[in-house]
Amino acid sequence: MLKHVMANEPAKAGSVKICEASFPQPFYMGLEYSAPARGMWNIAQTGFLMPETHQIFVCAYGCLRGVVLTAAEMNALDRYSAIAIRENDIINGTIEKLMVEGVNDVLAKLTEKPKCIQLFITCQHFFMSYDHNSVFERIRKEHPDIEILDCYMIPAMRKSGISPDQRMRRQMTRVWKERTRCDDKRINIIGSNLRLSETAELRGWLNGNGFELKSIHDCKTFDEYVDMENASMNLYYEPVVAAEAKDLKDRLDMDSFYFSNSFDPDEIDENYRKLAERLLIPAPDFSELRTQAEAALDSLKGLIKDTPVALDYTLTTRIFSFAKMLTDHGINVTAVCTDLVQPEDREAFEELKKTHPCMEILATNQPESRFFASEHEKNADSEKEETVLAVGQKAAYFFATDHFVNIAEGGGFLGYDGIIRFTELMTDAFLNKKDRRKLIRAKGFGCESCI
């Protein structure tokens, strides 16, 4: 019999020392807890980035609840509608009729016709034994003037195949259908929820070489968004976008470039060298910026000294690369809150095992995680433990600290400029407290919020 052998087994605990943590899954996957830090985006928020688009979710009330209130809290309820599935639809097999008539009803009630409908189905649909593709086709035929985009809110499939987040991104560029030209000097940045920072050196460098950078955030109309299909290249820096980039290559033969969001200066330089080679332009010399970034980290260390620092995975997809960057500059990273180690973060993870074996990996979704915050709160009240400087909302929550960097989804930061911006935010967080509860409860960092 073949047996899956791991160096370490996933821990049945809420925390584990990094030297004992298994890759890629440090913890056993059993019952899960959900921390009240809501900076990460959900698929409804990602979908709302598309201009002139209306969302319709076809699902049970329980599944509707999260998305309708996401829409309402971001003042987008006028771009959202629902069709509720009830037991009789399952028992009588009327789901197809419900969907077709439901979409007609919603469109009849909207005062302004959208250019695109994102029509979401959920896990439940995949257990109903009906041909949802044919239903989407029928709805498309009934509404030829509206782009009907099939979308999926299917968390039951998150452990197999492409993840719901990856799928959502891929679907959003399925409205790019046919390239009518290729704008050599136009590059898309795809798949990121937050717009790339205006100060990112990547932006300045490419603009300086005559390239226009465009992302969904720059599009005011649906047509403008669709016109992104005529760019010469899709650039992305988050692994979650890979399926979308591959789909665009397969369907439209669009080139893509993965500019990994690493915090390792050598890897950043290598990203630039490879991108310059691909674009047939001279590689940039960012050595001065690299020195500035290194100096900013040293200066941060000088300020915070041995203050314990905790990070979490909602901050960036390369959380161990980030941790290694800090420890390389002597910063005392004591904990990383994550439930998974990304494959491309493995090298940094393995390196930290050797250099900082006592660093704690803290689960964010284990049953034990429920009590981390209250335990730290009690310890803080009794002055039993030193205040932690947290980077990321979940770390702030679990360590019950008001000294934290309020950020998620990478913050739109990249490269050396990103490192410098992070050090500025950490400096500010060290010196100043924030209203933790108020800030971390807002859904989707960077989204409009009425909370």
Partner 1 sequence: MKQTFALISTYSSDEFGICSALYELGGMVVIHDASGCNSTYTTHDEPRWYDMDSMIYISALSRNETILGRDSKLIEDILETAGKYRPRFIAIVGAPVPYMVGTDYRAIAKILEEKLGIPAFGFDSNGMQYYTRGMRDAFKAIAERFALTREISDMSIDERPIKVNLLGVTPLDFGMTGAADSLKKWLLDHGMECNSCFAMGSSPEEISKAGNADVSLVVSYGGTGAAKVLKERFGIPYVFGIPFDTAQLAEELKKMTTGNDLGKVAVIGEQISGLSLAESLKDLGIDSRALCMTDHIRDPRVNPAGMDFRYAPEEDDLIRELADVDTVIADPLFKGICKDKRFLELPHMAFSGRMFERDIPDLIGKGEWLYERIMNEIKS
- Contact positions toward partner 1, by CB under 8 A? 12, 29-34, 36, 38, 59-66, 68-69, 72-73, 77-78, 81-87, 89-90, 98, 101-102, 104-106, 109-110, 122-124, 126-128, 153, 155-160, 367, 370-371, 374, 437, 441, 443, 450-451
| Cβ 157 to partner 1 shortest distance, Å | 5
| Cβ 137 to partner 1 shortest distance, Å | 21
| Cβ 451 to partner 1 shortest distance, Å | 7
For 127, the token pair is 């257990």
Residue among 98 and 336 whose Cβ is closer to partner 1: 98
Helix, coil or strand: residue 22: coil
Q: In the Cβ-directed half-sphere of 168, how many Cα atoms lie within 13 Å?
A: 28
CA distance 218 to 236: 16
| Cβ 121 to partner 1 shortest distance, Å | 12
The residues near 114 (Cβ < 8 Å, ≥ 6 apart) are 52, 53, 54, 79, 146
Q: Provide the 8-state DSSP code for 278.
A: H
Q: Provide the 8-state DSSP code for 168.
A: H
Residue among 3 and 159 whose Cβ is closer to partner 1: 159
For 113, the token pair is 């016709």
The answer, yes or no, to whether the previous bond of 51 is cis (omega within 30 of 0) is no
Residue with tokens 């800030």: 439
| Cβ 103 to partner 1 shortest distance, Å | 9
φ and ψ at residue 135, rounded to 5 degrees: -70, -45
| Cβ 309 to partner 1 shortest distance, Å | 24
| Cβ 317 to partner 1 shortest distance, Å | 18
Judge whether 388 and 402 are in contact, CB under 8 Å. Answer: no
Residue among 122 and 271 whose Cβ is closer to partner 1: 122
Q: What angle do CA 113, 118, 124 make, to 5 degrees?
A: 135
Residue among 121 and 309 whose Cβ is closer to partner 1: 121
Write down how long the chain is: 451
Any idea of the CA torsion for 173, 177, 183, 184, to the nearest 10 degrees? 70
Residue among 159 and 354 whose Cβ is closer to partner 1: 159
Residue among 131 and 198 whose Cβ is closer to partner 1: 131
| Cβ 53 to partner 1 shortest distance, Å | 15
Judge whether 6 and 31 are in contact, CB under 8 Å. Answer: no
The residues near 340 (Cβ < 8 Å, ≥ 6 apart) are 24, 25, 26, 313
DSSP 111-135: SS--SEEEEEEEGGGGGS---HHHH
| Cβ 211 to partner 1 shortest distance, Å | 39
Residue among 197 and 364 whose Cβ is closer to partner 1: 364
Residue among 94 and 427 whose Cβ is closer to partner 1: 94
Residue among 56 and 275 whose Cβ is closer to partner 1: 56
| Cβ 374 to partner 1 shortest distance, Å | 5
Residue among 127 and 210 whose Cβ is closer to partner 1: 127
CA distance 318 to 321: 5
For 303, the token pair is 């300020």
